[in-house]
């Protein structure tokens, strides 16, 4: 079995946050059901940013992982302690949050990405996030 085949059997990418032009508000990603992806053991959440527009003097993009027992339909999402990233402060930057499934105590998780701007005229930046679920026991179903 080739290494590429083994990687495909042991990982699955899931959209965390569709690309969005953000003006500074918190951007809540989609809820990921851990039961629907029951065979993963760890997650690598990759956050990407584009180039800031509106000529801000500076910016910072923060991200964190939140969890909920019911995907937010009745129970609010809450931050998971320690699951944050080092802020991105450069155009076309990348950040990551890596965690084990065991760090979650609820069924659903999501990423929240928040930019902060200093100065500029209506500044905004494109954001997106992808979760790579890793450590499957069997090949994940599409």
- pLDDT at position 103 is 96
Number of Cα atoms under 13 Å in the Cβ half of residue 53: 8
pLDDT beyond 60 at 109: yes
Rounded to an integer, the average pLDDT of 112-120 is: 97
Residue ranges and CATH numbers for the domains of the chain are 3-134 (2.60.120.680)
Question: Does the predicted TM-score (pTM) go above 0.85?
Answer: yes
Beta-strand runs (E) in the chain: 11-22, 27-28, 32-33, 42-49, 58-68, 78-84, 94-100, 108-118, 125-134
pLDDT beyond 70 at 48: yes
Nearest CA among 52, 43, 53 for reference residue 93: 52
- pLDDT at position 104 is 95
- pLDDT at position 140 is 47
Burial of 4: CB neighbours in 10 Å, binned 0-12, 13-18, 19+: exposed
Q: Give SS3 for 2.
A: coil
Tell me the per-residue pLDDT of 58-88, one tens digit each, with 9 for 90 and over: 999 999 999 999 877 767 999 999 999 999 9
- pLDDT at position 141 is 53
Rounded CA separation 126/140 (Å): 30
List helix spans (H) across the chain.
3-10
């Amino acid at each position: 079995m080739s290494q590429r085949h083994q990687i495909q059997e042991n990982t699955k990418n899931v959209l965390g946050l569709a690309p969005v032009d953000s003006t500074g508000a918190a951007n809540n990603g989609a809820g990921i059901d851990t039961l629907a992806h029951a065979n993963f053991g760890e997650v690598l959440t990759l956050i990407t940013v584009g180039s800031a527009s509106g000529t801000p003097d500076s910016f910072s993009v923060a991200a964190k992982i939140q969890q909920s027992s019911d995907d937010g339909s009745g129970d609010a999402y809450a931050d998971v302690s320690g699951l944050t990233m080092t802020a991105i402060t450069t155009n076309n930057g990348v950040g990551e949050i890596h965690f084990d499934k065991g760090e979650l105590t609820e069924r659903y998780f999501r990423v929240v990405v928040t930019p902060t701007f200093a100065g500029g005229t209506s500044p905004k930046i494109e954001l997106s996030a992808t979760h790579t679920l890793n450590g499957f026991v069997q090949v994940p179903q599409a």
